Structures are given as structure tokens and as C-alpha cells.
Homo-oligomer: A and B are copies of this chain.
Amino acid sequence: MAVSTVGAASATRAGQDPAMCPYRLVLEHVTSRWGVLVLIELLERPYRFSELRRAIGRVSGRGVSEKMLTQTLQTLERDGLVHRDARPVIPPRVDYSLTDLGREAAEQVRALAQWTQDRMADVERARHAYDEARQARDGAHNR
């Protein structure tokens, strides 16, 4: 049975909408495109800004824009998940790391990401089955 009140949903644009129940906002920060990646990477070790940027955009297509990374980090910092350690040296050096709270979140996110990877085979099979069924249907429809 349900764990408790999680089943109570809300909606509206995510962004800054004040009319949304507060926990949904945090959830969206954590599950956001870059939020997910930032948390997972920081679970490994602390990172500097540009270092993190490169780490995230490692594989395929271009990575995060500076703007988005900044924005993501600020949001997560404000929520108390990420710690920002800016040291007044030249050139500037800023290290980002997880807080205890952030680590808890990151572990859950990583678990989900890991699950996704582990189950990719099943997903791929489901997709092919779906696509073939669809094609058969559309074919019948057109003849």
C-alpha cells in the first residue's frame, strides 16, 4: 500500500510557480536534466566548476552550457543539497560538493540511473515489440 501522502499530486508550470506544493519543486530540481547529472557526478568526488562541466558533457553531443550549470548548481545549493566552497585566490577557485542532505538525494538518483541502465535490455525489447505492433496496425489501416 501507499507509503503515505505522496499520491497527492499537483501541477502547474514547474519553474517558480508559488501555487505548487513545495516538495514537488525540490523533486523537479533533483530530477531536472542537469540536476540528475550533477548529483551523480558529485557523488564521486568534489568538482570545480569547469571540471564538472567537462565531466558532464563527456560522451555524446555538447554538454551543459555555463548558464545551465550555474543555474542548476545555484538551485541545488539553495535547496541545501550542494555545498559551494569559493576560495578568494587568483585565479578564482570554487569547489562544489554534496552536503549530507545532497548525498542522500544523490544516492537515490544514482540508484534510479543504475536501475535504468540495468534494465535497458528489457526496455529495448519492449520498444521493438511496441514499434512492430504499431507498424502492423498502421499497415492494416492503410490497406
Question: Residues of A at under 8 Å CB distance from B?
Answer: 2-14, 17, 19-23, 26-28, 30-31, 33, 36-37, 40-41, 43-44, 55-64, 77-81, 101, 104-105, 108-117, 119-120, 122-127, 129-131
Taking a contact as CB atoms under 8 Å apart, the answer to whether A9 and B112 are in contact is: no
Interface class of chain A by DSSP: helix
Taking a contact as CB atoms under 8 Å apart, the answer to whether B78 and A116 are in contact is: no
Taking a contact as CB atoms under 8 Å apart, the answer to whether A113 and B80 are in contact is: no
Assembled-state Cα–Cα distance A8/B27 (Å): 22
Q: For A30, what are the chain B residues with a Cβ–Cβ distance below 8 Å?
A: 112, 116
Assembled-state Cα–Cα distance A17/B59 (Å): 14
Q: How far is the CB of A62 from chain B (nearest CB, A)?
A: 6
